Amino acid sequence: MNKICEILNIKYPIIQGGMAWVADANLASAVSEAGGFGIIGTGSATADIVREEIRKCKKMTDKPFGVNVMLMSPNVESVIEVIIEEKPKAITTGAGNPAKYMEKLKKAGIKVIPVVPTIALAKRMEKLGADAIIAEGTEAGGHIGELTTMVLIPQISDEVKIPVIAAGGIANGKGMAASFALGAQGVQIGTRFICSKECNIHENYKQAVLSAKDRDAIVTGRTTGHPVRTLKNKFSKEYLKMEKEGASSEELDRLGAGSLRLAVIDGDLEKGSFMAGQSASMIKEIKSCKEIIEEIVKESSNIMKEIY
Ligand code: TUI
């Protein structure tokens, strides 16, 4: 049996990305109901909001689901406490090193699956007792590392014994089949689920992803040490211009503050930060999570059959 399916007790090794503001109980439960692993993205949300979403998700599905913890959140400590009380099947972590929470979470029986952008971090996470690792290439949306999925997955899967989940640039069966070929046992998919029927965000966000072309998912924030992949628009162009002109981190933070919310909730095409991965240009249609997952599984298994 597939190791990711075994660990998480799911049908298909497809993990939904923990997208802040985007991935709520509605999306997570739809992905889990369809046989994947739905994730509630907590971003910088308060512990009370996180508890509410977890409880909502429990009401919407009997299937296992998880929570993503964004480690740069000012609420990270209280969010971890809520997670330990509510006991989702697993957590994924992003934007930092979850070392100091690992023991507590494992004691509570919660699987820990860190998202990492480098080989060194993957090895460190294995030593600390991570149950699996999500290796995320720079093709991904949001906060990213430097290495591509193509070089990250084979190296990490050679270096660690725990199962590896590939992320970054995967939106269809081709990406899933490629991930298996590179040594992964599962995939994490974010951007594709933005364009799902069950994703409760402003319609402008979905349309921005659907109309994105190959070079439209650009990287801002390289000068601050927190690179973020987001779609090209007035906001991201202005951000890049300020970086070129030598703006300070404080000035850039001021420009960026609240911009993801403006995209997700208000659909503000000018001031919003429409975080998305390079796979955006492969996404053509809004479908249900069930249709998306079944299509990816079917396409990837056909590719793997055709090879030999
Ligand atoms: O975390 C993500 N993607 C995200 S988080 C996010 S919220 C945000 N919003 C605005 C600015 C910044 C963040 C949006 N997208 N992906 C997983 C990921 N983790 N990518 C990179 C990392 C990472 C980086 C450094 C993981 C560990 C790490 O460790 C450094 C250390 O402390 O050793």
For the chain, what are the domain ranges? 3-198+288-307, 203-279
200, two tokens: 């409760």
- d(CA 190, CA 168) in angstroms, rounded, equals 8
276, two tokens: 């998305």
Q: Give the pLDDT confidence of 163-173 residue by residue, as tens digits.
A: 999 999 999 99
Residue-averaged pLDDT of the chain? 97
At residue 308, the pLDDT reads 67
E strand or H helix at 84, and its extent? helix 76-86
Which residues lie below 8 Å from residue 135, measured CB to CB, with a gap of 6+? 116, 117, 122, 149, 152, 153, 156, 157, 164, 165, 166, 167, 184
**Whether residue 121 has its Cβ less than 6 Å from ligand 1:** yes
At residue 112 the predicted structure's pLDDT band, cuts being 50, 70 and 90, is very high
Determine the distance separating the centroid of ligand 1 and the alpha carbon of 144, expressed in angstroms.
Answer: 6
3, two tokens: 């190791």
250, two tokens: 């404080």
The residue whose CA has the least distance to atom 12 of ligand 1 is: 143
The residue whose CA has the least distance to atom 13 of ligand 1 is: 143
- d(CA 73, CA 267) in angstroms, rounded, equals 23
φ, ψ for residue 199, nearest 5 deg = -80, 115
Question: With a threshold of 0.75, does the pTM exceed it?
Answer: yes
Q: For residue 44, what is the DSSP state?
A: T
Q: Give the pLDDT confidence of 247-290 residue by residue, as tens digits.
A: 999 999 999 999 999 999 999 999 999 999 999 999 999 999 99
Determine the distance separating the centroid of ligand 1 and the alpha carbon of 101, expressed in angstroms.
Answer: 16
Give the CATH class of 3-198+288-307.
alpha beta
Mean pLDDT of all residues in 11-17: 98
pLDDT for residue 114 is more than 90: yes
Q: For residue 11, what is the DSSP state?
A: S
